[in-house]
Amino acid sequence: MKRRERFLRACHGQPVDRPPVWLMRQAGRYLPEYRALRERSSFLEMCRDPARATEISLHPFERFGVDGVVVFSDILIPLTGLGIELHFDPGPVVRNPVEGRGDLERLAGDVESAMQPTCEAIRLLKRELGEEAAVIGFAGAPWTLAAYVSEQKLSRDVELLCGLSYSAPEFVDTLLDRMAEISAEALRVQIEAGADVLQIFDTWAGVLSTPRFERFAGRSLRRVLDLLPEQRPPLIIFARAASHLMEAIADIGPDVVSLDWRTDLGEAARRIGQRVSLQGNLEPSALKSPPAEIERAVAELIRAGQKARGHILNLGHGVLPSIPVEGVAAFVRAAQRGLS
Ligand code: CP3
């Protein structure tokens, strides 16, 4: 079975020879070939150079033979087309955050032009990979994008946006509607460029209780899905620290729910695994264990994942810069071997 087909079948809950595997942040600072390129250019410069972004996206494919290749970019790139001034240090820093209605009206411009280099990288990846791997495009969820644009440097508990959701809920509704349009537009242009699979990152949804998730983050995620074309590639939703939200996320209508490592995969399979496929969910730090231990953990995940209609092996969040390359290699190798 070709890697692209394996990936798409798992998203739809169709039988596969083994679960497909990729890792969030699989291209990045833990790889020496990335660090070598990064010495010469900033992160944003590399995102804006389609040939470079393509090369970096392919690093983990060439090294490990992962089934999915995620395009090298960032969830905040679409916002740069709307006058948000952004740099990375190493996390995002916004010079002109959106603090009220006036700032929101200033957010004019063009997502498509900001996404142009990423879309060109997707076209180049498709040309390079053909059936050999699924090309994954992505966007930030409205709540997570709103969290980043509302503060210069996002506080640990998303203090500003959470506060606004109590003191000025109508403003937050308007902000989330705008972010939903941006998120949907970013996904739409990646579909047009040929992305095989889409992932929405709701990194900060987990700070919300279930009713407040439904009221804010969930409602705006639904809006994103409504704005996408009817014929769209399979869609994965990832939310961090969101075990309490798994049913609410499955209800929104993705094909796959991506779980962070605090959620028990077997239990998630029992609760939502008949209507959606699952992705995940090894703790990133577990890749610091000896290879035999990683193999054991992967076998356990494969067994738990078999209780769902489909399972894509991944971590429960992104690869950390301090993860040894050998740990990632052992993870992918164990996945490729399956249970045999
Ligand atoms: O997964 C991949 O390999 C594809 C590329 C990708 C990046 N960011 C590259 C990146 C993807 C899918 C993202 C998504 C992203 N960006 C998210 C959602 C996923 C998550 O981690 O929860 C978020 C919240 C962002 C915002 C962002 N960008 C942060 C918080 C940081 C700093 C974090 C860190 O690792 O230090 C970035 C910078 C960033 N994005 C880097 C990379 C490779 C590091 C840039 C560098 O080389 O300095």
Percent of the chain at pLDDT > 90 equals 95
Give the residue, by CA position, lying nearest to ligand 1 atom 38: 91
184 CA from centroid of ligand 1 (Å): 19
Q: Which of 21, 22, 23, 25 to mutate to test the pocket of ligand 1 (most atoms within 8 A of CB)?
A: 25
Domain segments of the chain as ranges: 3-337
Percent of the chain at pLDDT > 70 equals 100
Q: Measure Cα distances from 221 to 16, 224, 259 in Å.
A: 29, 5, 17
Ligand 1 atom having least distance to the Cα of 318: 21
Instruction: Please give the Cα distance from 55 to 239 (Å, whole number).
Output: 28
Kindly name the residue from 49, 67, 148, 178 that is annotated as catalytic. 148
Is 0.85 surpassed by the pTM of this model?
Answer: yes
Give the residue, by CA position, lying nearest to ligand 1 atom 1: 25
Kindly name the residue from 63, 74, 215, 251 that is annotated as catalytic. 74
- Is 25 tagged catalytic? yes
pLDDT at position 107: 86
Name residues contacting ligand 1 (CB within 6 A).
24-29, 38, 43, 70, 72-76, 88, 90-92, 138, 201, 203, 240, 318
318-321 long-range contacts, Cβ below 8 Å, gap at least 24? 318/23, 318/24, 318/25, 318/28, 318/284, 319/23, 319/24, 319/25, 319/26, 319/28, 319/30, 319/284, 319/287, 320/30, 320/284, 320/285, 321/28, 321/29, 321/30
Largest CA distance in the chain: 60
pLDDT at position 321: 97
Question: Of 149, 16, 11, 15, whose CA–CA distance to 78 is shortest?
Answer: 149
The token pair at 152 is 């210069």
CATH fold of 3-337 reads TIM Barrel (3.20.20)
Mean model confidence pLDDT for the chain: 97
pLDDT at position 109: 83
Residue 137 Cα to chain centre, angstroms: 8
pLDDT at position 340: 73
Query: What digits encode the pLDDT tens for the residues 281-311?
Result: 999 999 999 999 999 999 999 999 999 999 9
Give the residue, by CA position, lying nearest to ligand 1 atom 23: 75
Alpha helices in 65-168 (DSSP H): 77-80, 101-106, 111-129, 142-149, 159-167
Confidence class for position 108, pLDDT limits 50, 70, 90 = confident
118 CA from centroid of ligand 1 (Å): 14
Confidence class for position 105, pLDDT limits 50, 70, 90 = confident
Ranges assigned E (strand) in the chain: 68-70, 86-88, 92-94, 134-140, 197-202, 235-239, 256-258, 277-282, 311-315
Higher pLDDT, 104 or 68: 68
Give the residue, by CA position, lying nearest to ligand 1 atom 18: 201
The DSSP code for 318 is P
74 CA from centroid of ligand 1 (Å): 6
Least reliable range by pLDDT among 95-99, 140-144, 236-240, 251-255: 95-99
Q: Is the pLDDT confidence value at 125 over 90? A: yes
